[in-house]
Structure 1
Amino acid sequence: MFVIFGAAGNVGRVSAAALRRAGREVRAVVRNGKQGDTLAAIGCEIAIADLLDPTSVARAIEGAYGVQILCPVPHANADPSTTMRRMIDVSADALRANPPHRLLALSDYGAEHPSGTGITTLFHYLETQLAPVGSQLTFLRAAEHMHNWARMLPVALARGVLPSLHHPLSKLFPTVAAHDVGLLAAELLLDDRPAKMSPRVVSLEGEARVSALDIARTLGELAHRQIAAHEVPRGEWAAMLQGAGLSENHARLITDLYDSHNAGRIDVETEVSERRFGATALVDVLASILARMAETATATGTATATAR
């Protein structure tokens, strides 16, 4: 039995589907029953768990051969750092008490740094807390997810301007499609070869690094309109993020992350990582996001730039 936490998410559902295609039993862990409907349709056992509840997490991993664990960033949370640490502690305690044969943690580029990287420091904490678990342990460190740009697309399409916290706009940075992360996670869970290092660290990014200018150009070509990348001044970051609904503490974690990004600290740790590269291109991810936006607009009868 393979247990996939966050199985309804962009990464988890791909991992669950890949494992099912391989003929493996999968327990998909979700927050509520509705999230499990599509996963149940492909033959997954559904478990409902709250990552802050030790009992439900312990129950979810019972009988597991392999576990894929993550620490989701809580939305609309006044203190996401404290909440994420509690989630990590609950999961780590359950896994130490009942270690599966194989354990894969979804982590982040830059997770080797104990401080100074904003929200990425929580992935360092995740790795640190899971290291004592008596399992064949793999940390899958992924670059920035291409799908994260989805939250900026409505603004870009409405105003013709794509805001960016990546400075300068021409700076190349690693990104990866969530689909590729999910596929590689499943592949690593199924890989029974003895690891050369413990824990095993695998990094993943797309075949080509991109800049904010590349993203704006690609989006413009897909939307058939002119879209310009805009370098948001550093002094405006906090207000912009809080205006988008983030708490003050959450906004600080994001600003610290992008300060670290722009200083070149968020990258692959080449000395210890096995490097992998995803096959999905940025243009394909942006096209799929635009298609979903258009479908939603059509279904709700809302006229948007993506429906043109």
Structure 2
Amino acid sequence: MFAIVGAAGNVGYSTSSALRRAGMPVRAILRDRAKAARLSDIGCEIATADLQDAAALAMAIGDADAVQIIIPVSPLTKDPADGLRRSIEGLFEALTQARPKQVLAISDYGAHVTDDIGMPSMFRDLEARLAQLKTQLRVLRSAEHMHNWGRVIPMAVASGILPTFQDPVDLAQPTISAHDLGLIAADFLLGPESGTGVQVIHAEGPRRYSANDVAAVVSQLSSRVVRARAVPRSQWQATFEPTMPSSLASLLIKANDAKNKGGLVEIAPNAGVVRYGHTSMIDALRPFFLL
């Protein structure tokens, strides 16, 4: 039995679908049962639990041999950073109780960095906590998801300007489609056991993209000229403040500073396995133009 925590998300659904196509039993663990329909349609068993409710989550995991986890950010909560910390602790307690043979955790590029670089540092904390489990642990560090660009596509098409926190705009950065990430995760879950200890895997797309590259993709898909423009660093705080709590804004600002510095939100030095997805940026963003 494979238990997928957060199976309704893009990555979780991709993993669940791949496992079902391989004929494997999947228990989809959701916070909201209203999102269960498409998972039920592909033959998943459904369980509900909140990451911060360790007892309920342990019961949902149950007798699963392997568990895939992803920690979602809840931007509408009062303190998303504190929520992430409580989710990490709830998850650790649940896994300690359930004791699956294998855990695969979706982490983040840059989680190896010891300095505080915002969001990747939250995943460093996740990795450190899970490393205390007495089970086989695979950590799948993901590059930024391509579909995150979808948030600014309507603005870019309307104005001809693609706003970005990437500066310089011609700096190519690692990114991956959520679908590919889920497939890579499923491939490791279906593969041979990694033995004891922690195995770290990095995953990114077939090539790296700059903000200029993304603007060119949006231009092609929208049939209008779109150019990338970096949001000045002095305006970042004011840009984030209207849409999210200050703790989340702080995590994102630090992460973007680290990305723009270069060499931090990256593959760790002396990394072992690096896997590459197949989905290009234009194929990842095409669905945003079919809505």
The two structures share one fold, judged by TM-score above 0.5: yes
CA distance in 2, matches of 1:239, 1:22: 48
Gapped regions of structure 2 (runs ≥ 5): none
1:272 shift after superposition: 2.9
Percent of aligned pairs with the same amino acid: 40
CA distance in 1, matches of 2:115, 2:67: 27
1:279 shift after superposition: 0.5
**What residue is the counterpart of 2:254 in the other structure?**
256
CA distance in 1, matches of 2:154, 2:238: 19
1:76 shift after superposition: 1.3
CA distance in 1, matches of 2:109, 2:253: 16
Judge conservation of contact 2:50–2:57 (CA < 8 Å) in 1: yes
Q: Does 1:200 align with 2:199?
A: yes
Q: Secondary structure at the match of 1:63?
A: coil
Write the letter of the residue equivalent to 1:236. Answer: Q
1:60 shift after superposition: 1.2
CA distance in 1, matches of 2:223, 2:94: 51
Gapped regions of structure 1 (runs ≥ 5): 295-308
Q: Secondary structure at the match of 1:96?
A: helix
CA distance in 2, matches of 1:173, 1:284: 18
Could you give the per-residue CA deviations for residues 149-178 of structure 1, whole angstroms, max 9, x where no partner exists? 111111111211111101100111000000
Cα RMSD, aligned residues only: 1.2
**What residue is the counterpart of 1:140 in the other structure?**
140
After superposition, residues 31-180 of structure 1 pair within 5 angstroms as 31-180=31-180
**What TM-score do you get using the length of structure 1 for normalisation?**
0.92
**What residue is the counterpart of 1:303 in the other structure?**
none
CA distance in 1, matches of 2:95, 2:246: 32
Q: Secondary structure at the match of 2:86?
A: helix
After superposition, residues 24-35 of structure 1 pair within 5 angstroms as 24-35=24-35
Aligned pair count? Answer: 290
1:217 shift after superposition: 0.8
Could you give the per-residue CA deviations for residues 262-305 of structure 1, whole angstroms, max 9, x where no partner exists? 111100014133111110100101112222xx2xxxxxxxxxxx
**What residue is the counterpart of 2:215 in the other structure?**
216
CA distance in 1, matches of 2:194, 2:131: 17
1:78 shift after superposition: 2.4
Write the letter of the residue equivalent to 2:216. Answer: R
Q: Secondary structure at the match of 1:11?
A: helix
- Assess, with a 3 A threshold, how the Cα gap between structure 1 residues 63 and 77 changes in structure 2: closer, same or farther: same
Could you give the per-residue CA deviations for residues 203-244 of structure 1, whole angstroms, max 9, x where no partner exists? 01111111000000111111000111011000101111123x
Write the letter of the residue equivalent to 1:258. Answer: N
1:56 shift after superposition: 1.4
Judge conservation of contact 2:162–2:226 (CA < 8 Å) in 1: yes
Judge conservation of contact 1:26–1:45 (CA < 8 Å) in 2: yes
Judge conservation of contact 1:114–1:125 (CA < 8 Å) in 2: no
Could you give the per-residue CA deviations for residues 76-95 of structure 1, whole angstroms, max 9, x where no partner exists? 12211111010000101111
**What residue is the counterpart of 2:11 in the other structure?**
11
CA distance in 2, matches of 1:114, 1:157: 39
1:20 shift after superposition: 0.6
1:146 shift after superposition: 0.3
Write the letter of the residue equivalent to 2:234. Answer: G
